[in-house]
Structure 1
Amino acid sequence: MKRLLLTRAATAAALAAALVVSGCQGTGVRSSGEGKESIRVLATKNPQMVTLKQYTKKYFTSRTGITVDYTLLPENEARERMNREFARQDGTYDVASVSAYEVPIYSRNHWLAPLDSYAKADRAFDQKDIFPSLNMAVTGRDGKIYAEPFYGEGSFLMYRKDLFRKTGLTMPRDPTWKQVASLAAKIDGTDGASGICLRGLPGWGQNLAPINTVVNTFGGAWYDMQWNAKLTSPEFTKAIQFYVDLVRKYGEPNAARSGVLEILADFSQGKCAMMYDASSLATSIEADGSTVKGKVGYAPAPHELTRRAGWLWTWAWGIENASKKKDAAWKFISWASSKRYQAQIGDTLGWNEAPAGSRQSLYSNPNYQRAAAAWYREEYAAVKNSANPTNPGVAPRPYQGISFVGIPQFADLGTKVSAQISAAIAGKQSVRTALQISQKLAQDAVADYRTGGRGPTR
């Protein structure tokens, strides 16, 4: 998938180098050291993981004697290898960076070891400090925890306070999408800025990330409880039509080719009055070099029929069920997802580099409050008050996930559907046509799922 979750380090790098964190090109990076025991860790090759690797020997191996043999790969390659290796269950890797998407699938297939007993015995770990929403996202249907969050994010609405003052507009404390559309229409063109920047680039982790939150709060769902596809339902259609109309009328130029990095660059350069996207982007928006630093306000994710509408995402650590080194693997997870590690990185690199969005205690830490003064309150609220991962909308649904459908086939299905919606944003086809095609794709995908297909893991 092209899930573009930009962590604090990643977003800062994005502005400087305009590199895609997820799906960037590169070969696998392996590292190992000397110790009494070793474990193998498979992870996505992004800045947060690279930093972890860099400081593992100093802060983990020196204390435990356990060396860590990392395999770091671009996200698509890491996910492909993880799917293959975990399906085999031959214990090649002990730990892997799994996302909110993998956890319900892997736990259902018994590919991950439950971690409840480890977390309960490890009092210093403090499971209750993990955001409740993230605990829910990494919990299987059996009620057991299968991964521990390394970092996470929600979503919120970012807006130019200076442009709002100039036009005499006020951002509601808890905006609806209809209010956002009205504000976009009124502020569009002020100082040459588009009314709002939204993702239009195809990809199930690109435009579908925000689009699915709109679908949820407008009352739509991909499937009903009998797994009938619902992409042509009135609720789903209304949500997509709203999003397409909003970005076509008041969005950035060439919106169909704009992903998270493009709209981040546009917003940071003063080309947008509003942007709805990941809470993790705030660190780049408030970074030196951003023309809107100190001029941005933050509001909750817009909603409509639901009280909450924001997405929720995490990269978390899971133990392969076949691993013969589960105790050592837990020691690694206990450190990598700990308050101790956050403090080590904060003290070493600066607290704005500490992995955020996973532990509630970080937001009461004066060091982090100072480093993230402009946005930490809203970031905390975005993760804590995200939509419910098990039922983020109005209608009941048989799957788990806010910005995705928790079945293996969704990686392929979502990418195909996102391309149809992107074509509608580009004006190449109507929303009706896009959803008629997507409805058939969704029916075919669930037919494979219901007959036992593992989608990309086969």
Structure 2
Amino acid sequence: MQRQHSNRRGAVVAAAVLVGVGACGSGDGGGDAGGPAGDGTLTIATVSNADAERMQELSEHFAAGHPDVDLEWVTFEENELRQRVTTDIATDAGQFDVVMLGTYEVPIWAEREWLVPLDSLPDEYAVDDLLPSIREALSYEGTPHALPFYGESAFTMYRTDLFDQAGLEMPEAPTWEFLKEAAATLGEQGDAAGICLRGKPGWGENVAFLTAMANSHGGSWFDMDWTPQFDTEPWQTTIADYVALGEYAPPGAEENGYAENLELFAAGECAIWVDSTAAASYISDPDQSEVADSVGFALAPDAGQGKRSNWLWAWALAVPESSAQHEDALAFVAWATSSEYTELVAQEYGWLQAPPGTRTSLYENPDYQQAAPFAGLALESIETADPANPTDNEVPYTGIQYVGIPEFQSIGTAVGGRFSLALAGDITVDEALTESQWVTDQVIERTRFIEE
């Protein structure tokens, strides 16, 4: 019991520190005063993934049209990117001129006037071509404050060859119960682990997966009075199923996030994977995936409660108010998210690698449809995701795989640690839920006190 008490306190302290960072600078608008003087160099902070690497490789095309602008790239693993960019913008440090961020941050930071509004895009940018749900998620009070680099939802990916060998047929709209049974059957074959799971702690890692999963079981993070709901049956079922699925996951699943599972699935180490629709282009590419010729796709699973576990997300590019080089930074953001950039990617790497989930015109393009047979299902998953109504219960927040409040970044990190320990077998499901309930309640109460 002493160990559990110590872990809880440590989680709350870490969460409270991050809540403080998220609260600083609120309402002061940031401004150019805190940033460095413009020197002709744009410092661009991005997540470390294949799409961002391609952007860096292709940036010579932007540089050719902007000879007076030098580009400096800083890439981070997903969790570190969020921490570094959040700290930089909240403290008005001005280290970055262009930042990659997601649908979670944009409305929160836009309300605090930390991001430059994108209200004067040229006609040729074709802002109306952006998928409506993605455009809305990156807007505040009707004005875009970031532009989508790529967008995604979640669906089910699976090995058609292993399913055939086991005499299984994947439904177009599977349930979690079916996936549990299939993972057990496939895991016993020994050719691959039954399922890949996000176990790495983080609000954008295992918590994203589990929040969407809980939604499909009828769960929510909070009720209408902002009382945490981890002591309810839907969360009990969710985490119990998660731990049960972990029995059929690769060893060390508690350390695997999106990037690790992407490599595992592409290497043939998993039979099923429920995750980002953006992964489809990688695992379908024979130059990168050993299983490209035996991958099938289905909708994200549900639990009979009226909601599937498909989320809505976009990695987007924005310009911090603290940057001293707004004009050049805005030009870069518009270039990297334009339809012309999409065509450039297609020319250099093929249509399969075109940034997905951003523009209607991409999904109407016959070349893309032919290269990406999963495109229709991915678009359906994006369009049916409803951040305003993430579960069948009434909730006081928006967001499917996250809760759209500043405190969630810290709470989710703390809670993610508990669920990762449960997956590893270091604590029980009940302990993980009890501690998650406690830490969430403590941070929410602390925030209420500060606001009062």
User: Quick check: TM above 0.5?
Assistant: yes
Pairwise CA distance, 1:392: 1.4
Tell me if structure 2 keeps the 8 A contact 1:159–1:274: yes
Letter in 2 for 1:166: Q
- Please give the alpha-carbon distance, in whole angstroms, between the structure 2 residues aligned to 1:95 and 1:298: 34
Pair 1:300–1:86, CA change in 2 (3 A): same
Pairwise CA distance, 1:346: 1.8
- Please give the alpha-carbon distance, in whole angstroms, between the structure 1 residues aligned to 2:334 and 2:266: 36
- Deviations 1:122-158 (Å, cap 9, x if unpaired)? 2221222222221232123x34322110112221111
Q: 2:284 aligns with which of 286, 292, 295?
A: 286
The equivalent of 2:44 in structure 1 is 42
- Please give the alpha-carbon distance, in whole angstroms, between the structure 2 residues aligned to 1:240 and 1:149: 32
- Please give the alpha-carbon distance, in whole angstroms, between the structure 2 residues aligned to 1:376 and 1:418: 31
Letter in 2 for 1:183: A
- Three-state SS of the structure 2 residue aligned to 1:299 is strand
The equivalent of 1:443 in structure 2 is 441
The equivalent of 1:149 in structure 2 is 148
Deviates more, 1:68-77 or 1:214-223: 68-77
Pairwise CA distance, 1:209: 2.2
The equivalent of 2:417 in structure 1 is 419
Pair 1:73–1:380, CA change in 2 (3 A): same
Pair 1:68–1:311, CA change in 2 (3 A): farther
Seq. identity, %: 36
The equivalent of 2:76 in structure 1 is 74
The equivalent of 1:256 in structure 2 is 254
The equivalent of 2:330 in structure 1 is 330
Tell me if structure 2 keeps the 8 A contact 1:335–1:341: yes
- Superposition RMSD in Å: 2.8
- Deviations 1:56-85 (Å, cap 9, x if unpaired)? 343x34435662543423145544443234
Letter in 2 for 1:118: S
Pairwise CA distance, 1:435: 0.8
Letter in 1 for 2:364: S
- Please give the alpha-carbon distance, in whole angstroms, between the structure 1 residues aligned to 2:250 and 2:412: 23
Structure 2 unaligned spans of 5+: 1-37
Report how many aligned residue pairs link the two structures: 410
Structure 1 unaligned spans of 5+: 1-35, 454-458
The equivalent of 1:28 in structure 2 is none
- Three-state SS of the structure 2 residue aligned to 1:294 is helix
Pairwise CA distance, 1:310: 0.8
- Please give the alpha-carbon distance, in whole angstroms, between the structure 2 residues aligned to 1:181 and 1:443: 31
Pair 1:261–1:150, CA change in 2 (3 A): closer
- Three-state SS of the structure 2 residue aligned to 1:297 is strand
Q: Does 1:228 align with 2:227?
A: yes
- Deviations 1:363-415 (Å, cap 9, x if unpaired)? 33233334434x33333333333x21233112222333222223333333222
- Please give the alpha-carbon distance, in whole angstroms, between the structure 1 residues aligned to 2:289 and 2:353: 18
- Please give the alpha-carbon distance, in whole angstroms, between the structure 2 residues aligned to 1:332 and 1:86: 19
Pair 1:167–1:345, CA change in 2 (3 A): closer
Pairwise CA distance, 1:175: 1.5
Tell me if structure 1 keeps the 8 A contact 2:55–2:336: yes
Pairwise CA distance, 1:218: 1.0
Tell me if structure 1 keeps the 8 A contact 2:254–2:420: yes
Pairwise CA distance, 1:233: 1.9
- Please give the alpha-carbon distance, in whole angstroms, between the structure 2 residues aligned to 1:377 and 1:98: 26
Pair 1:237–1:125, CA change in 2 (3 A): same
Tell me if structure 2 keeps the 8 A contact 1:407–1:449: no
TM-score (structure 2 length as normaliser): 0.81
The equivalent of 1:367 in structure 2 is 367
- Please give the alpha-carbon distance, in whole angstroms, between the structure 1 residues aligned to 2:310 and 2:149: 20
The equivalent of 2:102 in structure 1 is 99
